Structure 1
Amino acid sequence: MTIVASGSAVPATTPADKGVGPLLRAWREQRRVSQLELALRADSSARHVSFIETGRSRPSEEMVLRLAEHLDVPVRERNALLLAAGYAPRYPETPLDDPALDALREGMERLIQGYEPYPALVVDAMYNVIAVNQGIQMLLDGIPESLLAPPLNAMRLTLHPEGLAPRIRNLREWRGHLLAQMERQIALRRSEPLRALYEEVTAYPVPGAEDDGQPAQSVPYFALPMRIEHEGRTLSFISSISTFNTPMDVTVAELAIETLLPADPATVKYLHSLLP
């Protein structure tokens, strides 16, 4: 298993030529926060927030960052807001293969390798696959090479009719979960490339894979499982996604580690049987 650059960074999606005021107002309205509520959070006044949004007042660099933090603006977009306000970007975007991120890459490698035999992978903001462990590679057996060619994309791989989709026994439920996840990310990041990917995968035909006959709630799952066929048996997994706290780099902020936790004893037993 190796960690490689995905080769498709997500461009900044907040145009600086609009000015910082309208952009901050758009983020505030998207978050459904009033000027007064935002002002209280940012230790300011509703009047000052109003003046910033209308262009009557130029916010300080500190104020831009403070408002962005309380509006939960992604790190990449915070740079764009700073540019729109006339300031230099605060957060670098370090290539993943840069020596400065050696410790990060090694840590992620150890993490997903240590999770074996259970599947785990690392993706970026566009769901491009950065790294996988042996558990994921097991699930990819038999997938056409055309879908495995870089840049490998987790959403395409899962929902494409020649990918994992025909093997997923509860495909319609799992597909709905993934599309809802993408919709939340689009709302958070307002990324046109991500929206284009969403439109692409939603247009894929849904394979008519027959259910394996197991009732969806025969086991009291604590979260929606992905039930996927592998070599004649159905494995069940619960997905968990982890991100980095307080990232100070765009690349790091957009990385996510997804782990698939076995959802039933049969899956645990089978995966451990594969260990050497």
Structure 2
Amino acid sequence: MTTVLSDTGVGPLLRGWRERRRVSQLELALRADSSARHISFVETGRSRPSEEMVLRLAEHLDVPVRERNSLLLAAGYAPRYSETALDDPSMAALREGIDRLLVGYEPYPALVVDGLYNVVAANRGITMLLADVAPRLLVPPLNAMRLTLHPEGLAPRVRNLPEWRGHLLHQMERQIALARSEPLRELYEEVAAYPVAAGTNGVGREDPPPLHPAFALPMVVEHQGRTLSFLSSISTFNTPMDVTVAELAIETFLPADPATVDYLRSVCG
């Protein structure tokens, strides 16, 4: 008897995620309490995995929630995770919690972005930093990567632009590797192509940027004649059951020096 292997369906998708994560069939089988033989049969289309098995494999392969729905559909099952708009009444508690968090973090800057870095909420600290950004970049939907790296955005005022730009692009590269998102790749290609003034620190000067704390790379930005320094931290929601919530990220900017603390308290306190 000749076995016909399937080139479509959930098997090749799971194999793609496994190879992307650089996990062997045996290692995945051990993680998922299965066998390498069964994993092989699933990947080649010789065996149809149960809904539970699809979700278990997706969990151990760290597949994004949006893509888990795609795996379920490919296996012939209904999507498990909803995608609810943030302005939906059912999201009221989430929106209120986010707003309280952002306000509570003031006077320090903080914002919330979706999976494409579109800004869905921000506090007064962020508004202050964007005071000199070109108006056309402030037309909704605001995009955090464009606002930071565009020549008419924050970029001319970021004193360590080459380093900070490299950090942001690397962050996007990691996210592209994690989630198969063509819109995200297009955004990456756009912002990576923005011109950067060679031999300058982002504000047209030849002097080097301030020394960095040894423990993390800060964003060093000029604001109304002052030099402010921030350390960035990104948080996500644990065990999300909705695609929208899974793709939200809260970014907070912690002052990296006492002078930045004093200035923010004086203007936003």
- 2:156 counterpart SS class: helix
Sort the Cα spacing of 1:245 and 1:78 in 2 relative to 1 into closer, same or farther, 3 A.
same
Aligned partner (choices 229, 238, 243) of residue 236 of structure 2: 243
Aligned partner (choices 12, 15, 32) of residue 25 of structure 1: 15
Aligned partner (choices 78, 86, 91) of residue 88 of structure 1: 78
How far apart in 2 are the matches of 1:100 and 1:167? Answer: 40
For 1:172, the equivalent position in structure 2 comes to 162
The range that moved more, 200-209 or 51-60, is 200-209
For 2:267, the equivalent position in structure 1 comes to 274
How far apart in 2 are the matches of 1:273 and 1:195? Answer: 40
CA RMSD of the aligned region, Å? Answer: 1.3
How far apart in 2 are the matches of 1:117 and 1:189? Answer: 33
> Stretches of 4+ moved more than 2 A in 1?
207-217
Q: How much has 1:61 moved relative to structure 2?
A: 0.2
Q: How much has 1:214 moved relative to structure 2?
A: 5.6
For 1:14, the equivalent position in structure 2 comes to none
How far apart in 2 are the matches of 1:59 and 1:137? Answer: 49
How far apart in 2 are the matches of 1:275 and 1:256? Answer: 23
- 2:245 counterpart SS class: helix
Structure 2 length as normaliser, TM-score? 0.94
- 2:254 counterpart SS class: strand
**Paired residues of 2:110 and 2:125 also in contact (CA < 8 A):** yes
Aligned partner (choices 220, 226, 233) of residue 233 of structure 1: 226
Matched, 1:264 2:257: yes
- 1:274 counterpart SS class: helix
The one-character-per-residue Cα deviations of 1:81-105 (angstroms, maximum 9, x if unpaired) are 0000000000000111011110000
- 1:224 counterpart SS class: coil
For 2:182, the equivalent position in structure 1 comes to 192
How far apart in 1 are the matches of 2:209 and 2:191? Answer: 27
- 1:95 counterpart SS class: coil
The one-character-per-residue Cα deviations of 1:67-93 (angstroms, maximum 9, x if unpaired) are 000000000000000000000000000
- 1:18 counterpart SS class: coil
Q: How much has 1:145 moved relative to structure 2?
A: 1.2
How far apart in 2 are the matches of 1:163 and 1:95? Answer: 28
Q: How much has 1:18 moved relative to structure 2?
A: 2.9
The letter of the residue matching 2:166 is: G
The letter of the residue matching 1:99 is: P
Matched, 1:41 2:34: no
The one-character-per-residue Cα deviations of 1:200-247 (angstroms, maximum 9, x if unpaired) are 001110144345846543x53420000000000110000000000000
Matched, 1:146 2:136: yes
**Paired residues of 1:225 and 1:237 also in contact (CA < 8 A):** yes
The letter of the residue matching 1:223 is: A
**Paired residues of 1:125 and 1:255 also in contact (CA < 8 A):** yes
Q: How much has 1:273 moved relative to structure 2?
A: 1.1
How far apart in 1 are the matches of 2:29 and 2:243? Answer: 26
Unaligned residue ranges in structure 2 (runs of 5+): 1-6
**Paired residues of 2:124 and 2:268 also in contact (CA < 8 A):** no
For 2:94, the equivalent position in structure 1 comes to 104
**Paired residues of 1:127 and 1:155 also in contact (CA < 8 A):** yes
Say how many residue pairs are matched: 259
Structure 1 length as normaliser, TM-score? 0.91
The letter of the residue matching 1:257 is: I
Sort the Cα spacing of 1:168 and 1:215 in 2 relative to 1 into closer, same or farther, 3 A.
closer
The letter of the residue matching 1:265 is: P
For 2:173, the equivalent position in structure 1 comes to 183
Q: How much has 1:36 moved relative to structure 2?
A: 0.3
Q: How much has 1:190 moved relative to structure 2?
A: 1.5
- 1:228 counterpart SS class: strand
Unaligned residue ranges in structure 1 (runs of 5+): 1-16
How far apart in 2 are the matches of 1:241 and 1:161? Answer: 24
Q: How much has 1:129 moved relative to structure 2?
A: 0.4
**Paired residues of 1:169 and 1:210 also in contact (CA < 8 A):** no
The one-character-per-residue Cα deviations of 1:243-262 (angstroms, maximum 9, x if unpaired) are 00000000000000000000
How far apart in 2 are the matches of 1:211 and 1:235? Answer: 17
Aligned partner (choices 195, 213, 224) of residue 205 of structure 1: 195
Greater RCO, CA 8 A, separation 6+: 1
The one-character-per-residue Cα deviations of 1:173-195 (angstroms, maximum 9, x if unpaired) are 00000000000000000111100
How far apart in 2 are the matches of 1:76 and 1:180? Answer: 22
